Structure 1
Amino acid sequence: MITAQQIRDVYEKASSEFAASASYRHLLGGQADADEVRDFIRNVFLTHYLSSHIVALCFASLPSDAASLLKENLLEEMGRSEAEKPHSALLLELARGAGFSEQEIQGLIADARQQVAIFCAVRVPLPTLRELCLAVLLETVSFEFMLSRCSGPIAAALLSHYALPKRALQWFELHSEVDIRHAEEGLQVVLDYLNFHQITDSSFEHILHATFRGNVFSRRYFPPTSRVVARRSATATAPRHIESIAIYQLRIPFRQTFSHAQQSREESDAVIVRVNDPEGIVGYGEALPRSYVTGETTASMVAHVSEQLAPRIFSQAFTSGWQTFEYMQSSLSDWTRSQDQTAGVIAWNAAFCSVELALLDWALRRQDAALSDFLQPIRREVVYSGVVSAETPREAAAIAKRFKDFGMRQIKVKVGTGEDVTRLQAVRKAVGEDVELRADANGAWSAAEAVEQLKLLRPFNLKAIEQPVGANDFEGLRRVRNETGIPVMADESLVTIEQARRLIELRACDFFNIRISKCGGVTGSLAMAKLAREAGIKIQVGAQVGETGILSATGRTLAAHLSDLAFAEGSFGTWLLSEDIVFDNVAFGYGGAAPLLSTRGLSVAVNEESLERLATKKIELHR
């Protein structure tokens, strides 16, 4: 049974880690520049401006005794009299004191509203509303706990080091006083919630882990977009050898069948690679081989990792941090080259991806860094598209309508399997004209067929047609682009760097669909993105159907980093998978929105028990 002391220990640990963090000490030590201080104030504002809405949600979910404890907190947030201003008003004074203009403040308010929607929506894949409210309650109470300890020193630093006027610091000063009481009351509120809603200990532990992954306070106050990235120049630790490699072949059932012109799937066939060093530090990678894309099958990929790549890994000493990525960059061409293309393998990109991600995860964890520290994000969230598989027109329309009702404004529909016109017609009718539609034929047509079919699909105002012709028909892609006027996206035609250059040379497409597993990991994906940017080609960061949280998290970081991003797909998580192998919730929330991920390594924690249980085969290799 969960006790108050267990919860207090979690809050104490998170608060202590925050107070010891480099970003916090940098601010309190007077070393932050003006832009960093503004970033900090902005993030505090975004986190707390609409806190009364969050507290109200918690209040509504509590039993009556616990609700009475939280009622006082809610009234204080809202302001009980003219003498006691709403906390939102105090935050407005803080923003003005930090030099934000009224126009900038209106932008902050708009961003704060969006932040609240994301705050709750990203938790939607939790099984029921009671779990969602528990996650929100845990984080809400944790901030009261931390602020009772840290808001006083923060206010003092802002006053003495950065010359913010004292009147602007009332919000911090208030929380240093009242949150001591609220923090202790909050522990009882959480316990009452657990008892009333009969939350099991295992469910509580799962939600607690997901809520406090990394450090929740650093994630809100010092997110990657506002953090000065100094880790590139950090002193590297001594090189280490990888002592063991484990390869897992998974079978994770889908919640529903997913079909397109090349394949119909009812389960994920992801391959996971785990690397270990002598100190017990672990890294995880993932790939999903596709015979009709790179030529790799699950069996051939696993054999290639075991027989070709593992010996190379064992022979090399790797350094923590970004140096490992630079080594993988130099190895990409050699490690992915297919020596005998008559065997059908275009490139060993999935095999490379699985080991590259595992080594990156390991190297970043050794340096206590996140992938987003190096692939610096230019957006605070990634908005994903809905994808409708090749269903009957009626089923496709129903799925598309659910996406629209969930706030999504970009939907891709699979075509090339018959009934394309009827399917698109039904989908367009279901979602209306305010939703953008794309279509994906997965190479089902010849160039002539594609031109004719797309004439019939023109009334549905497609924003792009993805891979209308076979993977090797580069001239066909160009013909479709020139004759239909519909923007063309290359997918199966985009596996190697040489293919990327060929597509650019022929002006055969408007978009590259960069899928990390298909394109050779982060290394290959960034190389293709660079070519695309130089050629003026927009990018979709795509996904293999059935990715677990490992690839989803990596794709999120890549999508947040790329300046030429047009669309993002993936991060379906347990919307599609019956269960995931990571503790973290990687699934997109309302509107397709999903926040940045910035904890250690690739920013997800693998559930070893789930990984072992879902594996149909495991190979262990040792140095």
Structure 2
Amino acid sequence: MHLELYRLDIPFTTAFRHHSAVRTATQSVWVKAQSGECVGMGEGCPREYVTGESIASVQTFFHTYCEALCQTVGSVEALVAWAADHTAVIDANPAGWCAIELAMLEFFAKREGVTVEQLVAVVPTAGTFRYSAVVGDSKLDVFQETVARYCAMGFTDFKLKLSGDLAQDRAKVDVLRDLTDVEKLRVRVDANNLWNDAESAVRHLNDLQFSFVGIEEPLSANAVDGMRMVAAQTGVPIILDESLLRADQIAAFAADPDCWIVNIRVSKMGGLLRSLAVLRAAHAAGISIIVGAQVGETSVLTRAGLVVACAAAGGLFAQEGAFGTHLLQTDVAHPPLMFGPAGVLNADAYGLSERVGWGLTLRPGQEFTTSLSRE
């Protein structure tokens, strides 16, 4: 087996803004695992403010371990063993490892003539999935237009990015408050680590005077005691994103599971197998999960997220992502794996459980990638 690394270069249809970044194009890596005609594809989204990674750091990680992986990992069992032996390295490079792991999982699944779900012994991906409307920290007129567009599509589950400016945030919440069907909406907010202390966060959130169903990362990452205070004083559970990267961190939240929701983003977690491990740990602790997404994911990471969502069953609080060409000017897959009216994605329409590997039909890579592999 041979591994190759690429940078994904896909512009967005519109800029996406939140407290930590403004994005106008993908910041992703693409790995191809190949032997003869058998090809597997994987994707990762390095983020400096989430996992401390960049495209450059993924290159270094890839070139450091590529040869050893190709020589020693010839099966999914060997892949699991290699990951177990290199836990600390993967902890520091989760998005880079995610791209490699997803590519190798598809390669092994195709070689064996099975789906990725069959390869890793989880339930097949089937049925319908309902995604949340995610609204960035945009100017008020853009925010209003975006909300109106989501409502016209039939969305009722919303995630709003906060700015930290009370007047701006209140004006945006008022847009939702003024909707005729506001009582049908389920709204959570994402602060992207806005506040330095619990008191400031609680004051701001309470001043918005809205019944949110979740508050994502109000304080700096891993400020667990402060976030526990925010949950207690607002009566709203905290959604853990940057503060929860591994299954072994779940134990810190097991004593009060109703205070927490875990956002499982496959790239952030370090691939599908680690995401499933976090899911199992959260389920054992009685903590609900969101299957999240990095801004700019393509159909490959959407597909991996569906595996986690199916495995989550009744513990699934919400799903994010599957934007496809709603956000990307083009997707790696044709047709792209993306939500439709009301945020619904019908997996059966894609025949995912009937096709080997990820079950996607991919466009030629030269249309959207730049090689990062050494000659």
| TM-score (structure 1 length as normaliser) | 0.56
Is the contact between residue 289 and residue 350 of structure 1 (CA under 8 Å) also seen in structure 2? yes
2:11 corresponds in structure 1 to 253
2:213 to 436, 455, 463: 463
Deviation readout 1:200-258 (Å, 9 max, x if unpaired)? xxxxxxxxxxxxxxxxxxxxxxxxxxxxxxxxxxxxxxxxxx1x211111221100110
- 2:338 partner SS: coil
User: Are 2:139 and 1:381 aligned?
Assistant: no
1:315 corresponds in structure 2 to 71
User: Are 2:287 and 1:551 aligned?
Assistant: no
Equivalent residue pairs, number: 363
Deviation readout 1:315-369 (Å, 9 max, x if unpaired)? 21413xxxx0x43333334434149xxxxxx621111111110000101111111
2:368 corresponds in structure 1 to 614
Q: Which amino acid aligns with 2:8?
A: L
Structure 1 residue ranges (4+ consecutive) displaced by more than 6 angstroms after TM superposition: none
Deviation readout 1:129-163 (Å, 9 max, x if unpaired)? xxxxxxxxxxxxxxxxxxxxxxxxxxxxxxxxxxx
Is the contact between residue 254 and residue 286 of structure 2 (CA under 8 Å) also seen in structure 1? no
**Which is bigger in relative contact order (C-alpha 8 A, separation at least 6)?**
2
Residues of 1 paired with 2:187 and 2:94: CA distance? 30
Residues of 1 paired with 2:128 and 2:19: CA distance? 31
Deviation readout 1:286-307 (Å, 9 max, x if unpaired)? 0000111111111101210111
Q: How does 1:69-148 map to 2 (within 5 A)?
A: none
Q: CA deviation at 1:614?
A: 2.2
- 2:183 partner SS: coil
Is the contact between residue 347 and residue 496 of structure 1 (CA under 8 Å) also seen in structure 2? no
- 1:422 partner SS: helix
Cα distance change, pair 246–379 in 1 and its aligned pair in 2 (3 A): closer
1:595 corresponds in structure 2 to 346
User: Are 2:202 and 1:451 aligned?
Assistant: yes
Residues of 1 paired with 2:183 and 2:312: CA distance? 28
Q: How does 1:513-528 map to 2 (within 5 A)?
A: 513-528=263-278
Residues of 2 paired with 1:605 and 1:379: CA distance? 18
- 2:372 partner SS: strand
Q: CA deviation at 1:263?
A: 0.6
Residues of 1 paired with 2:5 and 2:28: CA distance? 11
User: Are 2:136 and 1:396 aligned?
Assistant: no
- 1:462 partner SS: coil
Residues of 2 paired with 1:620 and 1:274: CA distance? 14
Is the contact between residue 298 and residue 331 of structure 2 (CA under 8 Å) also seen in structure 1? yes
Deviation readout 1:40-68 (Å, 9 max, x if unpaired)? xxxxxxxxxxxxxxxxxxxxxxxxxxxxx
Is the contact between residue 257 and residue 287 of structure 2 (CA under 8 Å) also seen in structure 1? no
2:95 corresponds in structure 1 to 350
Cα distance change, pair 317–336 in 1 and its aligned pair in 2 (3 A): closer
Q: Which runs of 5+ in 1 are unaligned?
A: 1-241, 340-345
1:586 to 327, 337, 350: 337
Q: CA deviation at 1:526?
A: 0.7
Residues of 1 paired with 2:217 and 2:372: CA distance? 35
Q: How does 1:209-358 map to 2 (within 5 A)?
A: 242=1, 244-277=2-35, 279-308=36-65, 310-319=66-75, 324=76, 326-338=77-89, 347-358=92-103
Residues of 2 paired with 1:432 and 1:494: CA distance? 31
Calculate the aligned-residue CA RMSD, in Å: 2.0
Deviation readout 1:72-120 (Å, 9 max, x if unpaired)? xxxxxxxxxxxxxxxxxxxxxxxxxxxxxxxxxxxxxxxxxxxxxxxxx
- 1:477 partner SS: helix
Deviation readout 1:266-314 (Å, 9 max, x if unpaired)? 001110000111x321111000001111111111012101112x12212
- 1:401 partner SS: helix
1:486 corresponds in structure 2 to 236
Residues of 2 paired with 1:306 and 1:570: CA distance? 30
Residues of 2 paired with 1:348 and 1:505: CA distance? 29
Residues of 2 paired with 1:314 and 1:377: CA distance? 28
Q: Which amino acid aligns with 1:427?
A: L
Is the contact between residue 143 and residue 172 of structure 2 (CA under 8 Å) also seen in structure 1? yes
Is the contact between residue 540 and residue 568 of structure 1 (CA under 8 Å) also seen in structure 2? yes
Cα distance change, pair 411–551 in 1 and its aligned pair in 2 (3 A): same
Q: CA deviation at 1:375?
A: 2.3
User: Are 2:226 and 1:476 aligned?
Assistant: yes
- 1:245 partner SS: strand
Q: CA deviation at 1:475?
A: 1.2
Q: CA deviation at 1:501?
A: 2.7
Q: CA deviation at 1:560?
A: 2.1
Residues of 2 paired with 1:382 and 1:429: CA distance? 28
Q: CA deviation at 1:577?
A: 0.1
Q: How does 1:202-213 map to 2 (within 5 A)?
A: none
Q: CA deviation at 1:378?
A: 7.8
Deviation readout 1:470-518 (Å, 9 max, x if unpaired)? 1121111111111110111101101123333323357594210000000
2:281 corresponds in structure 1 to 531
1:422 to 157, 162, 171: 171
Residues of 2 paired with 1:375 and 1:486: CA distance? 32
Structure of larger gyration radius: 1
Is the contact between residue 362 and residue 601 of structure 1 (CA under 8 Å) also seen in structure 2? yes
1:407 to 154, 160, 169: 154
1:605 corresponds in structure 2 to 361
Residues of 1 paired with 2:44 and 2:51: CA distance? 12
Q: Which amino acid aligns with 1:293?
A: V
Task: Name whichever structure is richer in strand by fraction.
Answer: 2
Aligned-pair identity in percent equals: 32
Q: CA deviation at 1:393?
A: 2.6
Is the contact between residue 257 and residue 286 of structure 2 (CA under 8 Å) also seen in structure 1? no
Q: Which runs of 5+ in 2 are unaligned?
A: none
Is the contact between residue 29 and residue 96 of structure 2 (CA under 8 Å) also seen in structure 1? no
Residues of 1 paired with 2:233 and 2:212: CA distance? 15
Is the contact between residue 115 and residue 356 of structure 2 (CA under 8 Å) also seen in structure 1? yes
Task: Name whichever structure is richer in helix by fraction.
Answer: 1
